[in-house]
Amino acid sequence: MKGEMSMSFNMGRKDFKKKYREYHQARWDEPIIFELSQKGERGVILPEAEPEVAAVPLPELGTMARKTPPRLPEMSQMRVLKHYLHLSQENIGADETVDIGQGTCTMKYSPKINDRLANISDFADVHPRQDESTIQGSIEIMYRMEQMLKAISGMDRFCLHPGGGSQAILVIATVLRAWLDAQGLSGEKDEIITTIFSHPSNPACAAIKGFKTITVYPDKNGRPDLDAMRAAVSPRTAALFITNPEDIGIYNEHITEFTKLVHDAGGLCAYDQANANALLGIARAREAGFDLCFFNIHKTFSSPHGCGGPGCGAIGVREHLVKYLPAPLVGFDAKENRYFLDYESPSKDVRVKDFYGVLPALTRGCAWIMSLGPDWLREVSRVAVLNNNYIFKKVTAMRGVSAPYAEGEYRMEQVRYSLRKLKDETGIGAAELINRMFDYGMHLWSSHEPWIVPEPFTIEPTESYSKAEIDEYLAVLEHVIDECYTEPETVKSAPHKSAIHRFDHDILDDPERWAITWRSYLKKYKNYFEPR
Amino acid sequence: MMSASKFESHPYIPNSVPSVQDEMLREIGASSIDDFFKCIPEDIKFKGKLEIPEGIPSEAALKRHIESIASKNKSVNKAISFLGGGCWNHYVPAACDEINGRSEFLTAYAGDPYEDHGRFQALFEYESMMAELLEMDVVNIPTYDGAQAAGTALRMAGRITGRPKVLVPELISPDRMKVIKNYLHPQMNVVTVRTDAETLAVDPDDLRAKTGADTAAVFIENPAFLGMIETRGEEISRIAHEGGALFIVWADPSSLGVLTPPSGYGADIACGDIQPLGVRMHFGGGRGGYIASSDDEKFVREYPSRLFGIAPTTHGEWGFGDVAWERTSFAGRENSKEFVGTAAALWGLTAGVYLATMGPRGMADLGSGIMRRSYYLAGELSKIDGVSIVGNGPFFKEFPVKFSGRSVKDVNAALLERGIFGGHDLSPDYPSLTNTALYCVNEAMTKSDMDALTSALSDILR
């Protein structure tokens, strides 16, 4: 009996068989912060300057002196706090839900101890220009992180600066441009090849550094089409920017042929491993023939996503490209037992970001790997892939859902599913299903555009969720799909249990009507959206 | 799991329990987890054991280990720090850390507007409060840092004007300059404008001479990297606009309680870093870049960043969502406006908490408190034999200090022995500023902190 009860969470209720819970998000009807302003209230008082300090005459600033104070809200401290706590309750984090519906983003557990460690004063209240003797701890974290990432990838050196995966791709494009410039090849080699199931920042960042993009589409098995790849490669090929397994969770077993084709054409191969959660200790960038790769510390290595950053995209290269990495790199002098920032690089005048990297993310990632070590790190990937295949089996048995490509094959860490059949049969697609899922407290995301897989959604369970939680998520998904057939109007009119109801999306694409700030709103509208 | 460990399930991996794995494998119809990896060719499988240290699964032991590494640092709280130059030791109100540590925000990511209403509203409010500080109608969801914000602002100007050249002052932050140059290469180029040796301000004649039909933007920092307040903003703006170029100002938001915001002297785009607004320094890892402009569609469509807008719901609530999504790289891949991705949203949210906590009075007190302290310190330091303040114009928060005949390296080493972090050494980056360091104050600095520096320097330079 006890075992049965633990499979269900609604102990104390009569219906022990119910597999999902009722949910309602907090609904505070929270005003815009400016509406809470009370003239004269203060949130914090700064220390007053001593009389001798205050007595020093200040310069006349003329037109540079601000005439009118900024119209910021005036609020006592607790009101500010309460406002944001209300907003936090009208939000949902990975900590609160079974966050497996945000495929490609690796929403894993970020251990609380690591948050505390990242924020201890000796790490958080350190200035980047302090004397080297006073920042040994921060540099050591960076050094240790680099050593571990080198082992995990097989690359020879890492630059830890980028503040996210897209900025890491910008570093890849920067290194590529510098490598071509150094050989006088920038005029000849001006194309990169990527795949449609690689992240959109691959072509977008390549364009920043002046490259044209050729995009390879999948063959019928879901792998990037090898013939299309052969046709794409030419003397103009500067590099391959590719993910593997791609966003659909299918491993491209021809990957070494891809890297060889590009190398034979005189180009470089860059591996987008933003999400590397299927392959830790199992396969590395080096053996697959890559010259560069990057990891998102906020995905595979557990640093939290923070509503969209700060993250960290650590980018690694093989020896022949080290000289093109932005400086400083991190060094260790074993004789003097001293960590240092190494500016001795030919590309020391190249930077993509202020200072040295997002230390809170690096500290969390470093602590996370240290907790696991080599054996449990490998287990992370094994369990992430086990969880995914368990879900794969269950979801593809659901009505109206399919998983295009590679029929009969297992998947890696995620799967891109299609609701085409559901849409055909009920008129309900991914967008509506997503809204209804949240009525049960569960998040589902469609997928990156373009929707090559029709009506897509992507599930990536990671290693962080127990079987019971996964079952709960699947029970909700199955129930909502069932509702599409039995109560379609309930699904179409969702969400019903969110902090807010449906809003007019068209307004956000109309320059006459959009308002990106409160002051802009007040210029365009009076009362509640009455045009001025 | 096959492991020498004495426990069978890691706390971060619930389904590492062997009986659960067996059950899941049975349901799948697979015999072992290895089955799932058969798609990876044998010759590229990693066969060995990763060369990383053995795990420390005990949380207490891990904490102790990482804390021992942290203890090798010496934070600014254990010294008196006069370091600035783009990263600043401002007071962080407790509410900032309280809110950005909430797991509903900290561990959220990409929920849609009905799931993450709180995130959308908080970031809309961040945009809105920055907009009041800047007196501009559009502000982005933060990009990585102020340097990236500068790079993007300049590229926006390039697209809006269709011109390739940008003008920046020669005394610009050296690191920011490197980011900008790299971000604009190879499509656009950067040309420097001379600065006056006395005031350290932009030379309008040189600016006028260099502003031509190919100029997309004139860019200045105000206050400048060396702390100087640019008093001729209106003149620079006029020169830029007469040449058909946009005027872009990189402004430190901590100055805007007392200084006119860039829009007040003609800037088309303002940009900068929000680190001073409630974000701890994190060794330079706490950063966020803001970009602001008017609500002109021509500008709005050129932002690569997310922009959150307000919308009415069917029940009369405030709703929020993405404005003009199609411009982003999520929608447009290589045909988009630059690129967007995970950047610095949590710091934007934090800056919102900061601005709401400070309010208009707090921001004014912040600015005037910093001005008073910087003028007090500069006055005291200039009384020391062998010390002079470089530049004769007004300054905010930071100012260059020259030591006659003594290298900054020597001076800083001697200060460090006395528990003081001396100013950032400018000599390596600015050949004209030999033996010169950038000194920075903050609003929480006491007279005795500053007097300690004066007394230490008098002693060291004796």
Task: Give the tens place of pLDDT for each residue, A57-76.
Answer: 999 999 999 999 999 999 99
- The last residue of a domain, from among B355, B381, B398: B355
Residues B203 and B267 in one domain: yes
In a domain, A45, yes or no: no
Calculated CA dihedral for residues A352, A356, A360, A366, nearest 10 degrees: 110
A319 vs A529: CA distance, rounded Å: 59
A270: its two tokens: 């860059």
- The last residue of a domain, from among A370, A389, A416: A370
Residues A327 and A390 in one domain: no
**Closest by Cβ to B109, choosing from A49, A107, A129:** A107
Structure letter (DSSP) for residue A402: B
Give the domain range for residue A358.
117-370
Residues A512 and A482 in one domain: no
AA identity, residue B248: I
Residues B346 and B237 in one domain: yes
What integer is the mean pLDDT of A92-111? Answer: 97
- Can you give the pLDDT at residue B80? 98
**Closest by Cβ to A131, choosing from B107, B331, B416:** B416
Give the domain range for residue B264.
94-355
Residues 6+ apart with CB under 8 A from A457: A101, A103, A416, A417, A419, A430, A433, A434, A444, A445, A446, A447
Residues 6+ apart with CB under 8 A from A26: A86, A89, A90, A499
B278 vs A25: CA distance, rounded Å: 29
Check B179 against A352: CB less than 8 A apart. yes
Residues A344 and A458 in one domain: no
3-state secondary structure of B7: coil
Q: Which of residues 85-114 of B touch A (CB under 8 A)?
A: 85-87, 89, 91, 93, 95, 97-114
- The last residue of a domain, from among A370, A387, A403: A370
Least Cα separation, residue B139 to chain A (angstroms): 7
Nearest CA in chain A to B40: A253
Task: Give the tens place of pLDDT for each residue, A134-170.
Answer: 999 999 999 999 999 999 999 999 999 999 999 999 9
**Closest by Cβ to A210, choosing from B37, B137, B186:** B186
Q: Which of residues 236-255 of B touch A (CB under 8 A)?
A: none
Question: Is A443 in contact with A101 (CB distance < 8 Å)?
Answer: yes
Check B264 against A518: CB less than 8 A apart. no
Taking residue A317's Cβ as centre, other Cβ atoms within 10 Å add up to 28
Residues B18 and B165 in one domain: no
Task: Give the tens place of pLDDT for each residue, B368-403.
Answer: 999 999 999 999 999 999 999 999 999 999 999 999
In a domain, B139, yes or no: yes
Q: What is the CA radius of gyration of chain A?
A: 26
Q: What is the pTM of this model?
A: 0.97
AA identity, residue A300: T
Report chain A residues whose CB lies below 8 A from the CB of B122: 84, 87, 91
Check A147 against B52: CB less than 8 A apart. yes
- Which residue, among A182, A179, A207, A183, has the nearest Cα to A194 in the 3D structure? A207
Phi, psi of B237 (to 5 degrees): -60, -45
Residues A284 and A326 in one domain: yes
- Can you give the pLDDT at residue B305? 97
Query: Over 90: is that where the pLDDT of B254 sits?
Result: yes
Query: Over 50: is that where the pLDDT of A1 sits?
Result: no
CA angle A94, A99, A100 (to 5 degrees): 150
Check CB contact of B452 with chain A, cutoff 8 Å.
Answer: no
Check B256 against A213: CB less than 8 A apart. no
In a domain, B9, yes or no: no
In a domain, B2, yes or no: no
Task: Give the tens place of pLDDT for each residue, B5-38.
Answer: 578 899 999 999 999 999 999 999 999 999 999 9
What integer is the mean pLDDT of A396-418? Answer: 97
Give me the CATH number covering residue A131.
Answer: 3.40.640.10
- Can you give the pLDDT at residue B8? 86
Structure letter (DSSP) for residue A455: S
Q: Give A14's pLDDT tier (boundaries 50, 70, 90).
A: low
Cis status, amide bond into A47, omega within 30 of 0: no
Query: Over 80: is that where the pLDDT of B138 sits?
Result: yes
Least Cα separation, residue A90 to chain B (angstroms): 5
In a domain, A48, yes or no: no
Tell me how many domains chain A contains: 3
Residues B47 and B106 in one domain: no
Tell me how many domains chain B contains: 3
- Can you give the pLDDT at residue A344? 84
Residues 6+ apart with CB under 8 A from A433: A419, A422, A444, A457, A480, A481, A484, A491
Report chain A residues whose CB lies below 8 A from the CB of B352: 33
Report chain A residues whose CB lies below 8 A from the CB of B110: 102, 105, 305, 308, 445
- The last residue of a domain, from among B315, B330, B355: B355
Give me the CATH number covering residue A414.
Answer: 3.90.1150.10
What integer is the mean pLDDT of B419-423? Answer: 98
Q: Which residues pair with A342 in a beta bridge?
A: A329
Query: Over 50: is that where the pLDDT of B3 sits?
Result: no
Residues 6+ apart with CB under 8 A from B450: A53, B373, B376, B377, B380, B441
- Which residue, among A368, A521, A262, A419, has the nearest Cα to B319 in the 3D structure? A521
Check B324 against A514: CB less than 8 A apart. yes
Report chain A residues whose CB lies below 8 A from the CB of B253: none
B413: its two tokens: 């080493």
Residues B434 and B301 in one domain: no
Check A91 against B119: CB less than 8 A apart. yes
Task: Give the tens place of pLDDT for each residue, B99-135.
Answer: 999 999 999 999 999 999 999 999 999 999 999 999 9
Q: Kind and range of the H or E element at A210?
A: none
Residues A290 and A359 in one domain: yes
Check B309 against A508: CB less than 8 A apart. yes
Least Cα separation, residue B386 to chain A (angstroms): 22
Least Cα separation, residue A317 to chain B (angstroms): 18
Task: Give the tens place of pLDDT for each residue, A261-295.
Answer: 999 999 999 999 999 999 999 999 999 999 999 99
Check A351 against B147: CB less than 8 A apart. yes
Report chain B residues whose CB lies below 8 A from the CB of A203: 333-334
Task: Give the tens place of pLDDT for each residue, A232-262.
Answer: 999 999 999 999 999 999 999 999 999 999 9
Check CB contact of B334 with chain A, cutoff 8 Å.
Answer: yes
Burial of residue A336 (number of CB atoms within 10 Å: 0-12, 13-18, 19+): exposed
Task: Give the tens place of pLDDT for each residue, B197-242.
Answer: 888 899 999 999 999 999 999 999 999 999 999 999 999 999 999 9
Report chain B residues whose CB lies below 8 A from the CB of A500: 113-114, 117, 313, 315, 317-319
Least Cα separation, residue A334 to chain B (angstroms): 16
**Closest by Cβ to A355, choosing from B35, B285, B352:** B285
Query: Rounded to a whole number, what is the largest CA-CA distance in chain B?
Result: 84
Check B39 against A410: CB less than 8 A apart. yes
Residues B325 and B370 in one domain: no
CB pairs under 8 A between A and B: 750
Residues A359 and A436 in one domain: no
Residues B264 and B338 in one domain: yes
Percentage of chain A lying above the pLDDT 70 cut: 97
Q: Which residues pair with B421 in a beta bridge?
A: B81
Check CB contact of B154 with chain A, cutoff 8 Å.
Answer: no
Q: Kind and range of the H or E element at A424?
A: helix A420-426
In a domain, A29, yes or no: no
- What does DSSP say about strands B215-221 and B165-169: parallel, antiparallel, or unpaired? parallel
Question: Is A295 in contact with A136 (CB distance < 8 Å)?
Answer: no
Least Cα separation, residue B65 to chain A (angstroms): 9
Least Cα separation, residue B219 to chain A (angstroms): 17
Report chain A residues whose CB lies below 8 A from the CB of B179: 351-354
Percentage of chain A lying above the pLDDT 90 cut: 93
In a domain, A101, yes or no: no
A388 vs A461: CA distance, rounded Å: 6
- What does DSSP say about strands B289-293 and B269-273: parallel, antiparallel, or unpaired? antiparallel
Question: Is B151 in contact with B179 (CB distance < 8 Å)?
Answer: yes
Phi, psi of B192 (to 5 degrees): -95, 150
In a domain, B3, yes or no: no
- The last residue of a domain, from among A370, A385, A416: A370
- Can you give the pLDDT at residue A348? 82
Report chain B residues whose CB lies below 8 A from the CB of A58: 368, 371-372, 375
In a domain, B295, yes or no: yes
SS3 per-residue string spanning B98-159? HHHCCHHHHCCCCCCCCCCHHHHHHHHHHHHHHHHHHCCCEECCCECCHHHHHHHHHHHHHH
In a domain, A49, yes or no: no
Residues A243 and A147 in one domain: yes
Calculated CA dihedral for residues A457, A458, A464, A465, nearest 10 degrees: 40
Query: Over 80: is that where the pLDDT of A16 sits?
Result: no
In a domain, B173, yes or no: yes
Check B106 against A93: CB less than 8 A apart. yes
Average model confidence (pLDDT) across chain A: 95
Nearest CA in chain B to A253: B40
Overall size of chain A counted in residues: 532
Question: Is A396 in contact with A402 (CB distance < 8 Å)?
Answer: yes
Residues 6+ apart with CB under 8 A from B34: none
Residues B401 and B321 in one domain: no
In a domain, A47, yes or no: no
Percentage of chain B lying above the pLDDT 70 cut: 99
Check B128 against A376: CB less than 8 A apart. no
What integer is the mean pLDDT of A443-471? Answer: 95
Taking residue A288's Cβ as centre, other Cβ atoms within 10 Å add up to 23
A525 vs B447: CA distance, rounded Å: 49
Residues B300 and B329 in one domain: yes
Residues B342 and B435 in one domain: no
Task: Give the tens place of pLDDT for each residue, A378-387.
Answer: 999 999 999 9
**Closest by Cβ to A374, choosing from B50, B86, B333:** B50
- What does DSSP say about strands A525-526 and A191-195: parallel, antiparallel, or unpaired? unpaired
Residues A366 and A378 in one domain: no
Check CB contact of B41 with chain A, cutoff 8 Å.
Answer: yes
Task: Give the tens place of pLDDT for each residue, A479-520.
Answer: 999 999 999 999 999 999 999 999 999 999 999 999 999 999
Check B107 against A93: CB less than 8 A apart. yes
In a domain, A516, yes or no: yes
Helix locations, A91-187, DSSP H: 112-118, 121-124, 136-153, 165-183
Residues B319 and B199 in one domain: yes
Task: Give the tens place of pLDDT for each residue, A432-441.
Answer: 999 999 999 9
Query: Over 80: is that where the pLDDT of A521 sits?
Result: yes
Check CB contact of B256 with chain A, cutoff 8 Å.
Answer: yes
Residues A364 and A420 in one domain: no
Check A500 against B284: CB less than 8 A apart. no
Residues A176 and A208 in one domain: yes
Nearest CA in chain A to B366: A46
In a domain, B7, yes or no: no
B73 vs A135: CA distance, rounded Å: 5
Least Cα separation, residue B206 to chain A (angstroms): 22
Check B77 against A129: CB less than 8 A apart. no
Task: Give the tens place of pLDDT for each residue, B438-451.
Answer: 999 999 999 999 99
Residues A187 and A290 in one domain: yes
Least Cα separation, residue B112 to chain A (angstroms): 8
In a domain, B225, yes or no: yes
Report chain B residues whose CB lies below 8 A from the CB of A368: 12
Check CB contact of B383 with chain A, cutoff 8 Å.
Answer: no
Question: Is A426 in contact with A389 (CB distance < 8 Å)?
Answer: no
Report chain A residues whose CB lies below 8 A from the CB of B220: none
Residues A303 and A401 in one domain: no
- Which residue, among A295, A368, A361, A171, has the nearest Cα to B287 in the 3D structure? A361
Q: How far is CA A449 from CA A138, A284, B325, in A?
A: 39, 28, 12
Phi, psi of A30 (to 5 degrees): -70, 125
Task: Give the tens place of pLDDT for each residue, B264-292.
Answer: 999 999 999 999 999 999 999 999 999 99
Report chain A residues whose CB lies below 8 A from the CB of B97: 119
Q: Please, what sign has the CA dihedral across residues A4, A9, A10, A12?
A: positive
Question: Is B307 in contact with B340 (CB distance < 8 Å)?
Answer: no
Average model confidence (pLDDT) across chain B: 96
Report chain A residues whose CB lies below 8 A from the CB of B89: 125, 127
Query: Over 50: is that where the pLDDT of B249 sits?
Result: yes
Residues B193 and B339 in one domain: yes
Check A66 against B259: CB less than 8 A apart. yes
Give me the CATH number covering residue B212.
Answer: 3.40.640.10
